[in-house]
Structure 1
Amino acid sequence: MSARALSLVITTPLAVIKQVDGVTSFRASDDSGSFGVMPGHADLLSVLRDCVARWKTGKGEWSYCALHGGVMTVENGDTIRIACREGVLGTDVATLEAEVRRHREAVAQEASRARVSEAKLHARAIRQIMTHLSHDQNISVETALDEIFQ
């Protein structure tokens, strides 16, 4: 990698969501505020807050990634690595906002489905336990449940 460009890698625990060479400028935010990184930058370690990271390639194109926190390192003045919980890529800020909203709604719906499945599994386990208990005591499941929940 030349001293005139950076390599950028953004990862989540499950995937590499972006890997790009030829980055000429990079911006993100941590608790001290917004900052920039250009080729040749000193080594750096920063804990990122929820922010929109943006970078420009040698072609002059800007790209964006909404980050849900993360840790960023700059190594040897030519490599930026970001490890984050979640990241949503976009080509402009306006559409990125809508994409983040859709992503968060999808995550919330999946969490809701998981809670419903967990509740059903729990209810099924209780029914199985009650069935075994009622057979041991020669009473119906309904009678056993009535006694428990009085």
Structure 2
Amino acid sequence: MTAGLHLMISTPSSVLVELPDAISVRAEDASGGFGILPGHADFLTVLPASVVRWRDGAGEAHYCAQGGGIFTVTGGNRVLVACRQGTLGDDLSTLEAQVQAMRAAGIDADRAARVAQTRLHANAVRQLMRLLRDGSGADALIQPGEGLS
């Protein structure tokens, strides 16, 4: 019989799971869901907010909702998941709802960042236009080849 997978799921502040005899691990990345069995080739991928699933030595399923991270397989039997945040649980539907909330929060944060970036860009363009229109601020613009002193 092939040795099991050594699974470790960790956040920056704690180790959530350290299991020396997982039978299988399932996760998903940008290309879709995938499964890992003992003997898998070395592998590295980025995980979005999602639920990582595994079966322990007794065949029982376990779950971890994680907020995005790195998934690696080394040596055919060592699976490491380093994530920003994670929550263990046995109720898959609750964890999937939590992941949906994480994804929605990420979309909202991205949207807010794009709005802030657009505002900064528009303000910079307005300031440049004002300086060029007035002519009085032309000396304040740095000429090519000049540095800040």
Q: TM-score range by the shorter chain?
A: 0.5 to 0.7
Please tell me whether the aligned partners of residues 50 and 96 of structure 2 are also in contact (alpha carbons under 8 angstroms).
no
Please tell me whether the aligned partners of residues 28 and 52 of structure 1 are also in contact (alpha carbons under 8 angstroms).
yes
Residue of structure 2 in register with 1:80 after alignment: 79
Residue of structure 1 in register with 2:32 after alignment: 33
Question: Once the two structures are superposed, what CA deviation does each residue of 1:50-81 show, in whole Å capped at 9, x if it has no partner?
Answer: 11000001211000000100001101011100
Gap regions ≥5 residues in structure 1: 105-150
Find the aligned partners of 1:68 and 1:88 in 2 and give their Cα distance: 9
Aligned-residue offset at 1:17: 1.2
Structure of higher CA gyration radius: 1
Aligned-residue offset at 1:90: 0.6
Root mean square deviation of aligned Cα? 2.0
Find the aligned partners of 2:54 and 2:78 in 1 and give their Cα distance: 13
Find the aligned partners of 2:90 and 2:73 in 1 and give their Cα distance: 23
Residue of structure 1 in register with 2:7 after alignment: 8
Find the aligned partners of 1:12 and 1:57 in 2 and give their Cα distance: 20
Residue of structure 2 in register with 1:116 after alignment: none
Question: Once the two structures are superposed, what CA deviation does each residue of 1:15-66 show, in whole Å capped at 9, x if it has no partner?
Answer: 1111112111110000010000000000000101111000001211000000
Q: Secondary structure at the match of 2:79?
A: strand
Please tell me whether the aligned partners of residues 51 and 96 of structure 2 are also in contact (alpha carbons under 8 angstroms).
no
Q: Does 1:60 align with 2:59?
A: yes
Residue type at the aligned position of 2:51: V
Q: Which structure features the higher share of helix residues?
A: 1
Find the aligned partners of 2:52 and 2:96 in 1 and give their Cα distance: 13
Percent identity, aligned pairs only? 47
Q: TM-score, normalised by structure 1?
A: 0.62
Aligned-residue offset at 1:97: 4.7
Gap regions ≥5 residues in structure 2: 103-149
Q: How many residues align?
A: 101
Residue of structure 2 in register with 1:115 after alignment: none
